[in-house]
Amino acid sequence: MKDQRGSVTVIAVVMLLFLMIIAVAWLPMMTMEKTAASSDYREQQAWYAAEAGYKRAVAELEAGKTNSKWEWLSSGDDLENGTFDEKNILEIQETQTKAVESSAIWYAVAIDGISKDKTYSPEAGKTYAITSVGSCQGIRKVIRKDFTLGEDDETNIDEGKYLEQSLIYAGNKVNVKGGNQSVSIEGGHIISQKITGNDKWQGNTTIHEVTDSEFNKFLADMRTKIKNSVFNIDSYPTLEVITPDDSLNIPEGKSYYFKNNNVKGNIVGSYGSVLFIESDEKDYELSSWGSIKGPVIKSGKNQPFTIIYKGPKDGDLNLKTIISGGIKVISNVNIVFEKSSQYSNGLAMFLSNGNVIINCNLSKVFISADNDVHLEEGSGLTGQIQAWNEVTLQKLGNTLKFDDTVLKTYGFPKELESHES
């Protein structure tokens, strides 16, 4: 027994040392969690600040002040270069300082066509490109949207309360089917008349089945149908008819048209440029040998490169290439992303009057179909999906993550209308 005296003390000391080691090991993790939470908070506050700046711009335009100065605005160059004059910074705090402090929450706004140094009277019916930068403790977020004065504008930030925060927004049904592996779904909401297979996914997405009392308004709010005028050549008076070579480079603001041809090399578009393709082929391949590149979206330059495809009824627009940059693809028929295709490094919209079938990974996209959206086995998406009919997730390997950057940057696409229009 004498040899065992003091053993309790030794055990206690060992246990204390063990607990101290665990505590020390946990400290970095706790710090990381705190940093992540702080970063999320600052990002959200920066978005709120940018939204506040956008809403103020809309309110000032709607007020229609005659021959007034817009001294509170910044110029587009100011926003792009990050050089802000103190009088152009409107803090959401009560006090203003001469320098932008790292702790400040503020916004700065530019409206194309309106100078801060000159008097201006807003014009009814005119479309204004609004850029709003919000900042919180050094983190900045940008909202770029078009606003048409005097209209019930579809790009208003409060438009589409369902869609704004929806990962999936389907008029008829959302369904997960097949396989034994769970689908990973993160963020936003899944909203539909019927949602099935939700026991087969994992993640923190909110589920909402539309009630009978909500149903009519739910469908009326949906805008998935592409306007007929989009596919009418007469809607584009500046179209230049071309015969494409192996590659195609479209300068800023230019509009090109060709029929029954293919581009086998790279397709490069700039800010506000348009490529209108018309084909009699039922299975049309878009740039199967090269890549498709849109411009880098930045402050004051937020108009994507637009590709409009008009094909025969029940046809397919097959994307078998790497797509990047700021781009908008609009098709009157099905859009099919082959396994060899992908989209990344930018912000993109893909709009179809038929189905959208995805066999690859897409990053920061907005997908709209006037019929169905199918995510096939092994595909994935970061962004938002809307479909007039059904969204189907093939169970093996799908990963979906909510990201509303595309809509926040471009606004809701004006090419879309409701079925009641």
Structure confidence at residue 30 (pLDDT): 63
CB of 367 closer than 8 Å to CB of 360: no
Phi and psi, residue 15, nearest 5°: -65, -40
pLDDT in tens, the chain (421 residues): 455 556 777 787 888 888 888 877 777 666 665 565 566 677 777 877 888 888 888 888 877 665 566 888 887 666 666 666 555 565 554 434 444 445 578 888 888 888 877 788 887 777 888 888 888 877 887 887 778 876 544 333 334 456 768 999 999 999 988 766 778 899 989 999 999 987 788 888 888 898 888 888 888 889 999 999 999 998 888 899 999 888 899 999 899 999 998 888 899 999 999 999 999 999 999 887 889 999 998 766 778 999 999 999 989 999 999 999 999 999 999 999 998 888 988 999 999 999 999 999 999 999 999 999 999 988 999 999 999 999 999 876 778 999 999 998 888 999 999 987 6
At 44 the three-state DSSP class reads helix
Which of 52, 55, 43 is CA-nearest to residue 139? 43
Q: Is 52 left (phi over 0), alpha (psi -120 to 50) or beta?
A: alpha
Give CA 276 to chain center in angstroms: 23
Residue with tokens 């396989």: 179
How many of the other CB atoms lie within 10 Å of CB of 382?
19
Element (H, E) at 269: strand 267-269
Burial class for 78, CB neighbours closer than 10 Å (0-12, 13-18, 19+): buried
Q: What share of residues in the chain are helix, strand, coil (percent, to 5)?
A: 25, 35, 40
Task: Locate all alpha helices (DSSP H) within 259-312, ordered by sequence.
Answer: none
Q: Is 267 left (phi over 0), alpha (psi -120 to 50) or beta?
A: beta
What are the tokens at 278? Answer: 């018309």
Structure confidence at residue 79 (pLDDT): 67
Pairwise CA distance, residues 366 & 411, whole Å: 11
For the four alpha carbons of 76, 79, 85 and 90, in that order, the dihedral sign comes to: positive
Work out the end-to-end distance of the chain between its first and last CA atoms, rounded to an integer number of angstroms. 94
Element (H, E) at 83: none
Structure confidence at residue 168 (pLDDT): 95
Structure confidence at residue 40 (pLDDT): 66
What are the tokens at 359? Answer: 């066999």
CB of 386 closer than 8 Å to CB of 170: yes
Pairwise CA distance, residues 224 & 415, whole Å: 9
What separation in angstroms does the CA of 209 have from each of 131, 156, 190, 192, 421? 35, 25, 8, 5, 25
What are the tokens at 184? Answer: 């990973």
Amino acid letter for position 82: G
DSSP for residue 92? S
Give CA 394 to chain center in angstroms: 23
Q: Is the pTM of this model over 0.85?
A: no
Structure confidence at residue 89 (pLDDT): 60
What are the tokens at 203? Answer: 């993640």
Q: Which residues pair with 411 in a beta bridge?
A: none
Element (H, E) at 85: none
Structure confidence at residue 39 (pLDDT): 67
Structure confidence at residue 158 (pLDDT): 38
Which of 104, 114, 27, 21 is CA-nearest to residue 71? 114
Structure confidence at residue 83 (pLDDT): 64
Phi and psi, residue 363, nearest 5°: -120, 130
* DSSP per position, 195-220: EE-GGGEES--EEEEPPHHHHHHHHH
> Pairing mode, if any, of strands 373-375 and 356-358?
parallel
Structure confidence at residue 97 (pLDDT): 43
Which of 192, 147, 228 is CA-nearest to residue 417? 228
Helices (H) and strands (E) in the chain, counts: 5, 33
Structure confidence at residue 160 (pLDDT): 44
